[in-house]
Amino acid sequence: MSNTEISVPTLTRLAERACDGLRMVADGEDKTMEGWLIYGAALNEGRKMFPSDEQFGQWLVSSNLDGTVHNGDR
């Protein structure tokens, strides 16, 4: 899938979902697992849209998701 085929609202929703997941992790123990699952699912969906490391990395940066979680954990 090329960048031109992916709508900005779709990418924005993915980034928002990833951030929502991280907020749940930060909220506490009872929401941690659900938050990580939401975050991971959003990143997995983004990875499908951007199969190259460069494109995926650019999306993470433009979505303010770069640096939120250590690369090894992501």
pLDDT tens digits along 28-71: 777 788 888 998 999 999 999 999 999 999 999 998 888 777 77
Supply the pLDDT for residue 28: 79
Helices 29-49 and 8-27: crossing angle in degrees, nearest 10, is 160
Q: What is the pLDDT of residues 3-30, one digit of tens each?
A: 557 788 889 999 999 999 888 888 877 7
* pTM confidence score: 0.65
